[in-house]
Amino acid sequence: MLTKEQNERITLVGPGTPMGNLMRRYWHPIAASVDLNEETPTKEIRLLGEDLVIYRDAKGTVGCIEPSCAHRKANLSYGIPEENGIRCAYHGWVFNEMGACMEQPSEPEGSRFKDKVTIKAYPVQDVAGLVFVYMGPQPAPILPMWDLLAWTNVTRSITTTMLPCNWLQCQENSLDPLHFQWLHRYYGGWSIGRKLPADERDDWYSRTLGKGRDHIKIGFDRFEHGVIKRRLLEGEDESDEYWKTGHPILFPNILRVGRVDFHSFQFRVPVDDTHTLHLAYSAKVPEHGTTVPVQETIPHQVLPLYQDDGRIVDTYVIAQDQLAWVIQGPLMDRSTEALGATDIGIIMYRKMLEENISIVEDGGDPMNVHWTAPESGYLPLSIEHCVYPDYQPQTSESQETRGPGGAVELVQGLK
């Protein structure tokens, strides 16, 4: 259980907060590249408690700037894309991706006034179908190219949902394997069954609620990019990939999941203290020996949070996760929670957050800030039951020397 002060320290992300200062050391995906096009060249966004505008100019350059024109404070999301930046709709001033004023068409000929005018701007990278923004101190670290961003011969897709809750409620779910058998198997089966005709429900419940295997052991191991999560299900031993390999939670706010031929990142993007953009970036691996067409653009679908009756959508796995995060409230009060033995992953992650906040406060680089790219050009990650061609699980030195750590055995399972 945390104090109210500790809870605020690891959850609040606005300017000047400890967690906000930590989060500003990372590149965050805030939109899909396809969102910025000829029909919609600008987009209002909110990230880490700041309102901003992203845009694509007539040359294709993407920028991220404060929303107000320096002249008369008109909103630049109504701007017109030009070759050298975005032109304000009100008086025609142009600002580029660096925040520099490029044109002031109403000023006298020869005026140097524009050279004295700037607006706030943040570095942007348009990579792998995503628009990433960095809001921290300069120089900016490199944007880490995780494996799914760089894999070839896959079919990618992007989905997003805006959630009315704090980012950590979403991320802590990744350190909680036990929710799967209750939230997804039990609640999910029960909720979907209620939508069936009354005479079909009993058969559905008997086939669904009792199916699936219980967890008998869970484990968490720190590695250089965050935490490896492991689980052991009934009927398995420690040679199974769910335990031997597991899957990673990337510090501070990314989950890497997948199995066989379908893999995804879940980015829990902190919009502000009580809102999170949940962005799923997925890659489908084709059958062995099959080549899929190169995607000119990666499609983006906004998924609704609510059903027509106002209840939260709960008909698929990620929707059920989102339901669990949102029903904790906009900002969970962790000073009133009662953690149990199976919450060791959550406790581990909170300690990592505190450690890295302190590192930033002491002037250091926190975990997962990268300054050089690997020779391969991308960072491979271990993931259970993967069939991507030539994939080899990556084993960190800490895993080799310490093995799976922080394990809890559930001798009787959780029926």
Regarding whether 245 and 342 lie in a shared domain, the answer is yes
Regarding whether 220 and 122 lie in a shared domain, the answer is no
Looking at 134, 155, 178, the residue that finishes a domain is: 134
- Asked if residue 384 belongs to a domain, the reply is yes
In angstroms, the CA 68 to CA 159 distance is: 29
* Residue range(s) defining the domain that contains residue 298: 147-409
Regarding whether 120 and 160 lie in a shared domain, the answer is no
Q: Contact at 8 Å (CB) between 13 and 24?
A: no
Partners of residue 124 on adjacent β-strands:
133
- Asked if residue 45 belongs to a domain, the reply is yes
In angstroms, the CA 302 to CA 307 distance is: 14
Q: Which residues contact 290 (CB under 8 A, 6 or more apart)?
A: none
What pLDDT score was predicted for residue 32? 98
In degrees rounded to 5, what are phi and psi of residue 89?
-70, -20
- Asked if residue 3 belongs to a domain, the reply is no
> Identity (one letter) of the amino acid at 314?
D
What pLDDT score was predicted for residue 278? 98
Regarding whether 193 and 55 lie in a shared domain, the answer is no
Q: Which residues contact 403 (CB under 8 A, 6 or more apart)?
A: 221
- Asked if residue 211 belongs to a domain, the reply is yes
CATH classification of the domain holding 73: 2.102.10.10
pTM of the model: 0.93
Q: Which residues of the chain have pLDDT under 70?
A: 209-212, 393-415
CATH classification of the domain holding 219: 3.90.380
- Asked if residue 386 belongs to a domain, the reply is yes
What pLDDT score was predicted for residue 211? 59
What pLDDT score was predicted for residue 401? 33
Regarding whether 52 and 107 lie in a shared domain, the answer is yes
In angstroms, the CA 333 to CA 146 distance is: 33
Tell me the pLDDT tens digit for each residue of 287-314: 988 999 999 999 999 999 999 999 999 9
Cis peptide before 139 (omega within 30 of 0): yes
Burial class for 332, CB neighbours closer than 10 Å (0-12, 13-18, 19+): middle
> Which parts of 100-258 fold into alpha helices (H)?
147-150, 167-172, 179, 188-194, 198-208, 241-244
- Asked if residue 124 belongs to a domain, the reply is yes
Regarding whether 157 and 115 lie in a shared domain, the answer is no
- Asked if residue 350 belongs to a domain, the reply is yes
Looking at 90, 108, 134, the residue that finishes a domain is: 134
- Asked if residue 151 belongs to a domain, the reply is yes
What pLDDT score was predicted for residue 121? 98
The total of structural domains in the chain comes to 2
Q: What percent of the chain has pLDDT over 70?
A: 93
Tell me the pLDDT tens digit for each residue of 55-80: 999 999 999 999 999 999 999 999 99
